[in-house]
């Protein structure tokens, strides 16, 4: 029987999660759901020095806003918990496997002090060696259980001396593993260093905890960012040393997300510099660090997710708009590219515009109702219908469509100068009397207007701009007759008359 797909998103709570992290979570989620599997949220908080308060709550909230729902995880529970590594450490989860590695000779104790490690680096640097690492070349000269007697090691441990446990990387071995996105990755073990797996305070490092948890949580596919690719060989060795090769997950390392200009990795500072968010939701730390988010910038979560899906993946067709359900259907790791995906703020906006336009007027009206201050639902839906093609965000509907709620208090000066001619007041006055006898329906108004300009042998432009200026104060916008239908006869006539009086004043002056 095929194994049930189980994948995890395993962030470290070191700060807010930037959109790269959300994309990793999304791809994991899509892959799990596509294969009828489970998606887990595991918090990797073994590095207490980098722990940031509020980061875990942020991650949970951000995933929730995006609609990426874990099946198991820190805030949900599940059969493989706890899902927070600090709690797993408390339960002694990792110690047992570290002991196993020590016993099998694949790991060793090292007692070197920070000063001794510095000295080692200086020495290696002075010797001109290409590496200053603690590895198969340098370990012989250091203070570790490979050099000390068993009694001496025990004596130091019993005396409470600080130590770390390091992996013993074998010499000249080819480590080969398959990455679903990149194909085979081959590394010579001689290029790896003896990474620390465990510290005397009982805390495992990322590598140890990550591999042990993936094994214990029955993870079948490790889908993570490219920055973890160099850790792959070390993880493969750990699976081997722990006797878990048969249970080893498959790997897929996702491409980087690049700055809009393609020069390097998108960083959390790029957003502020470029005026676009790089975080899903806003972040305000106790220390005063502040970042704006997509949620606060009025993006639809569906548009955000759709955009993120395309940062590294493509469906192989022209289709660009996908619901989460459709993404689940279409997603495959084979269609994820190797090379970095350039982040495009304009395209991001474009996605939001498409989602906005595809919403019904009534739905949009409900979204802006709390901000609109007691306006009738049908009127608000009319406003949304007129404005939705002209805005990128819902909150712009009220702002850009202000004249639909109240008469203009000023008129676009440039337009007035260009288009408001000496006979404009007379034309508008005549149109006032035409419209006074007209039913206020878009097509009826348009027909009445056309009849008038034909009779007067006028072109379309001048009278049109004149009444538009009077009604909206602006030189462009949605269909004017639809605007007039929406605001009604009384209001329209009032504005036309006010325009005759006020716009005239401006040109005389
Ligand atoms: N804790 C790691 C991170 O913060 C997880 C990497 C992995 O998925 O293995 O990204």
* Per-residue pLDDT, 439: 96
Q: Which residue has the tokens 């446990």?
A: 165
> Looking at residues 342-364, what average pLDDT do you find?
97
Neighbours of 164 (CB within 10 A): 21
pLDDT above 70 (res 507): no
The confidence score (pLDDT) of residue 287 equals 86
pLDDT attached to residue 505: 54
Is residue 162 within 8 Å of residue 200, measured between CB atoms?
A: yes
* Cα 225 to averaged position of ligand 1 atoms, centre (Å): 8
Give the pLDDT confidence score for residue 509 in this predicted structure: 41
The structure's pTM equals: 0.93
Query: What pLDDT score was predicted for residue 48?
Result: 85
> Which pair of structure tokens corresponds to residue 180?
């679903």
pLDDT tier for residue 131 given thresholds of 50, 70 and 90: confident
Q: What is the DSSP string of 185-212?
A: EEEEGGG----EEEETTS-B-HHHHHHH
Q: Which residues pair with 341 in a beta bridge?
A: 257
For the chain, percent of residues with pLDDT exceeding 70: 99
Q: Which residue of 6, 8, 9, 11 sits with most ligand 1 atoms within 8 Å of its CB, as the best mutation to test the pocket? A: 11
Q: Is 349 a catalytic residue?
A: no
Q: Of the listed 34, 265, 268, 349, which one is catalytic?
A: 268
DSSP class of residue 52?
-
Query: Which tokens is 418 given?
Result: 């260009």
In this prediction, residue 130 has a pLDDT band, given cuts at 50, 70 and 90, of: confident
Q: Which residues of 191-205 are buried (b: 16+ CB within 10 A; e: fewer)?
A: ebbbbbbbeeeebbb
Query: Do residues 88 and 74 make contact, with C-beta atoms less than 8 angstroms apart?
Result: no
- Residues touching ligand 1 (Cβ under 6 Å) are 10-12, 44, 206, 210, 224, 228
Q: What spacing in Å lies between the alpha carbon of 26 and ligand 1's midpoint?
A: 14
User: What is the mean predicted confidence (pLDDT) over 166-195?
Assistant: 96
Ligand 1 pocket check: which of 6, 8, 9, 10 to mutate, most ligand atoms within 8 Å of Cβ? 10
- Ligand 1 atom 10: the closest Cα is on which residue? 11
Which mutation among 18, 207, 209, 210 tests ligand 1's pocket best, with the greatest number of atoms within 8 A of CB? Answer: 210
Is the per-residue pLDDT at 474 higher than 80?
yes
Question: Which atom from ligand 1 is nearest to the alpha carbon of 8?
Answer: 8
320: how many CB neighbours lie within 10 A of its CB?
15
pLDDT band at 196 (very low <50, low <70, confident <90, very high): very high
165: left (phi over 0), alpha (psi -120 to 50) or beta: beta
The angle that helices 461-472 and 489-508 make with each other, rounded to 10 degrees, is: 100
Q: Are 469 and 509 in contact (CB under 8 A)?
A: no
Q: What are the tens digits of pLDDT across the range 198-227?
A: 998 899 999 999 999 999 999 999 999 999
Find the 314 Cα to ligand 1 centroid distance in Å: 24
CA of 296 to the centre of ligand 1 (A): 27
DSSP, collapsed to helix, strand or coil, labels residue 54 as coil
pLDDT at 481 over 90: yes
pLDDT level of residue 1 (50, 70, 90 thresholds): low
Instruction: Find the 118 Cα to ligand 1 centroid distance in Å.
Output: 28
Cross-strand partners of 8: 40
- The 10s digit of each residue's pLDDT in 45-77 is 998 888 888 999 999 999 999 999 999 999 999
């Amino acid at each position: 029987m095929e194994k049930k797909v189980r994948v995890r998103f395993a962030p470290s709570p070191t700060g807010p999660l930037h959109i790269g992290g959300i994309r990793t979570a999304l791809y994991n989620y899509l892959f799990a759901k596509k294969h009828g599997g489970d998606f887990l949220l595991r918090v990797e908080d073994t590095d207490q020095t980098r722990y940031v308060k509020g980061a875990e709550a942020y991650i949970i909230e951000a995933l929730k806003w995006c609609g990426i729902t874990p099946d198991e995880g820190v805030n949900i529970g599940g059969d493989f918990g706890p899902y927070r590594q600090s709690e797993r450490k408390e339960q002694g989860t990792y110690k047992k496997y570290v002991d196993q590695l020590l016993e099998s000779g694949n790991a060793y104790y090292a007692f070197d002090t920070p000063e001794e490690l510095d000295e080692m680096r200086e020495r290696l640097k002075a010797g001109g060696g290409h590496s200053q690492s603690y590895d198969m070349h340098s370990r012989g000269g250091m203070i570790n259980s490979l050099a000390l007697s068993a009694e001496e090691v025990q004596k130091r441990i019993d005396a409470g001396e600080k130590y770390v446990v390091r992996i013993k990387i074998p010499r000249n071995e080819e480590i080969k593993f398959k990455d679903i996105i990149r194909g085979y990755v081959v590394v010579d073990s001689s290029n790896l260093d003896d990474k620390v797996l465990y510290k005397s305070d009982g805390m495992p490092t990322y590598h140890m905890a990550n591999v042990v948890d993936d094994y214990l949580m029955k993870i079948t596919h490790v889908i993570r960012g490219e920055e973890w690719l160099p850790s792959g060989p070390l993880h493969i060795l750990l699976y081997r040393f722990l006797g878990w090769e048969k249970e080893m997950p498959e790997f897929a390392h996702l491409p980087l997300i690049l700055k809009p200009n393609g020069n390097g990795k998108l960083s959390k500072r790029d957003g502020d510099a470029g005026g676009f968010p790089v975080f899903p939701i806003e972040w305000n730390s106790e220390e005063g660090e502040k970042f704006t988010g997509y949620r606060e910038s009025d993006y639809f979560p569906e548009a955000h997710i759709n955009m993120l899906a395309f940062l590294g993946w493509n469906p192989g067709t022209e289709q660009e708009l996908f619901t989460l359900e459709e993404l689940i259907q279409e997603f495959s790791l084979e269609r994820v590219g190797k090379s970095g995906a350039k982040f495009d703020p304009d395209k991001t906006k474009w996605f939001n515009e498409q989602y906005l336009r595809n919403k019904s007027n009534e739905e949009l009206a409900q979204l802006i109702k709390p901000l609109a201050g007691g306006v009738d639902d049908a009127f608000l839906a009319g406003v949304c219908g007129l404005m939705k093609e002209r805005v990128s965000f819902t909150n712009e509907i009220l702002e850009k469509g202000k004249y639909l709620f109240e008469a203009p208090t000023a008129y676009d000066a440039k337009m007035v100068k260009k288009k408001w001619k000496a006979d404009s007041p007379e034309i508008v006055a005549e149109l006032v009397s035409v419209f006074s006898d007209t039913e206020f329906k878009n097509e009826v108004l348009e027909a009445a207007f056309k009849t008038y300009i034909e009779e007067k042998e006028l072109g379309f432009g001048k009278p049109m701009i004149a009444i538009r200026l009077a009604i909206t104060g602006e030189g462009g916008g949605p269909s004017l007759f639809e605007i007039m239908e929406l605001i009604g006869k009384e209001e329209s006539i009032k504005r036309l008359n006010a325009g005759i009086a006020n716009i005239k004043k401006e040109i005389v002056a």
